[in-house]
Copies of this chain bind each other. A is one copy, B any other.
Amino acid sequence: MKIVKTIAEMRFIRASLPEPLGFVPTLGYLHEGHLSLVRQARTDNASVVVSIFVNPTQFTPSDDLDRYPRDLEGDISLLCKEGVDAVFAPSVDEMYPPRFDSRVEVDKLTRRLEGASRPGHFAGVTMVVAKLFNIVQPARAYFGQKDAQQAIVIKKMVADLNMNLEVITLPTVRQQDGLAMSSRNSYLSADERQAALVLYRALMLEQGLWSQGDKDAEKLRNEMVKLIGKEPLATIDYISITDNETLEELKEVRPPALVSLAVKIG
């Protein structure tokens, strides 16, 4: 497995990797969610590249750039076992040299939900993902359903800009008790970690009510609000039931619907 630090070296190595190539872009501090993407990429493709880059442009000023967890050696060891061909781990200066002056953005889709809570976040995501796609030139790129809006935004960018690759979204990987795997879970105290389960419980409640015949989005949303309201450590950022492609709010919930929620814990 090659560890690649520069764009020039990545391009050089890329040229000799067999087609099709599967690509998993990450911020590192890898968990089973990332590894599920890597394993699918390994199954689907002749070669696999994983990038590890804590991209500063997707962190808003109030985000956690400085304390975002990192463990490059541990990540490399995990990826080696998965039969990855190359890990691309560039520096910030390598990706954003002086006088960097370009932008790649998706507009309407990024104004709601996570985009409304973290202005500029998705502009940073589309920027770095466009760069990484151009450097790595994958046939397929893999993203987790946990960041549902991100996957939808990237699919839109790929379609609009005619990028020649397929974006594949894989299910959220959860711990046994239902907490979604996330590098940021490392921030949680034991009490907060317990409180965070309210997210999963809210999703399960919604799914249960819906499968019993409750299709009214307003009612389903209110039931989730009520449940989360009982958890003293949780403050709701947003709960939203939308179309899975346009991100427009639904009145009546039918597939393909997306239930997305964000809750502040602590």
Specify the chain B residue showing the minimal Cβ separation from A95: B162
- Which residues of B are found within 8 Å of A126, using beta-carbon distances? 102
Please encode chain A, from 125 to 143, with 1 for each CB lying within 8 Å of some chain B CB and 0 for all others: 0100011001101000000
A164 contacts partner chain B, Cβ-Cβ < 8 Å: yes
**Residue contact B106 to A104, C-beta cutoff 8 Å:** no
- Which residues of B are found within 8 Å of A104, using beta-carbon distances? 102-104, 161
* CB of A139, distance to nearest CB on chain B (Å): 12
**Residue contact B7 to A162, C-beta cutoff 8 Å:** yes
A109 to B103, CA, bound (A): 12
A162 to B90, CA, bound (A): 13
Specify the chain B residue showing the minimal Cβ separation from A14: B164
**Residue contact B164 to A131, C-beta cutoff 8 Å:** no
Residue from the list B99, B135, B160 in contact with A246, Cβ < 8 A: B99
A163 contacts partner chain B, Cβ-Cβ < 8 Å: yes
Please encode chain A, from 12 to 44, with 1 for each CB lying within 8 Å of some chain B CB and 0 for all others: 000000000000000000000000000000000
* CB of A59, distance to nearest CB on chain B (Å): 19
- Contacts of A140-164 to chain B: CB distance below 8 A: 156-157, 160-164
- Which residues of B are found within 8 Å of A101, using beta-carbon distances? 106-109, 156, 160
Residue from the list B160, B163, B246 in contact with A100, Cβ < 8 A: B160
A101 to B161, CA, bound (A): 10
10 closest A-B pairs by beta carbon, nearest first, are A102-B160, A134-B162, A103-B105, A135-B162, A131-B162, A101-B107, A102-B106, A101-B108, A134-B163, A104-B104
Give the interface of A toward B (CB within 8 A): 7, 11, 99-109, 126, 130-131, 134-135, 137, 156-157, 160-164, 246
